[in-house]
Amino acid sequence: MPDSTLISKTMKYGVLLQSVVIKSTSYWCFPVLYPTIGVKYKLCLIKMNPIYLYHGSKVLVDELIPNQAYGFGGEADCFKAVYAVERKVLAIPFCFKLVNISNNSSFNIDTDKEIPEITLKNCEIDWEHKGYLYKVKSNNFVNIDSLQWTSKAIVKPVEITVIDPNEYRAWVKYCDV
């Protein structure tokens, strides 16, 4: 089992559960009674909400309002919701304002790397336009896939950071085809 840290114990459904963090993700553990050794806790695959999530935007607002998404990754990318992610670095590319060079432009983020790699095809980043990174509490969000969380409610940020795209030029590569 990976290194873990006990973060809390709580009564839920009449059972004492433990909450653990494994590789920065929180999970519930439930008790199992073994006749010879007593109670041991087993990892339950129910992922808990992190305390905070991050949302990137090109515009500065006081509150985040659910908008219709038009993504290409399937149904999970097309909800009317506020989208957020656990890893701050994955929200930063959404702070960038894109300038289309042709009708078939595209923007891709490789999320499998520690620092995301942004691939641009037939578009450019407006390097002078500042974006905004919103830190939000996760209590109204639902985990919809391995990276994304959504809220159908209006979300009030707890912190807003101005993002200068020039600081992230090394993350960007261009596709020739």
Ranges of each domain in the chain: 4-47, 52-174
- The pLDDT assigned to 125 comes to 96
Among 137, 169, 166, smallest CA distance to 154 is for 137
Q: Are 106 and 123 in contact (CB under 8 A)?
A: yes
- The pLDDT assigned to 167 comes to 98
- The pLDDT assigned to 159 comes to 98
Which pLDDT tens digit goes with each residue over 74-118? 677 778 999 999 999 999 999 999 998 888 888 889 988 899 999
Looking at the predicted structure, is the pLDDT value of residue 128 above 50?
yes
Looking at the predicted structure, is the pLDDT value of residue 173 above 90?
yes
- The pLDDT assigned to 155 comes to 97
Q: What is the SS3 assignment for 13-71?
A: CCEEEEEEEECCEEEEEEEEEECCCEEEEEEEEEECCCCEEEEEECCCCCCECCEECCC
| Strand duo 172-174 + 117-121: pairing | parallel
- Mean predicted confidence (pLDDT) in 42-59: 79
Higher-scoring residue by pLDDT: 10, 112: 112
Whole-number percent of the chain with pLDDT over 70: 71
Looking at the predicted structure, is the pLDDT value of residue 6 above 60?
no
- The pLDDT assigned to 105 comes to 86
Looking at the predicted structure, is the pLDDT value of residue 68 above 50?
yes
Which pLDDT tens digit goes with each residue over 21-39? 544 555 555 555 556 666 5
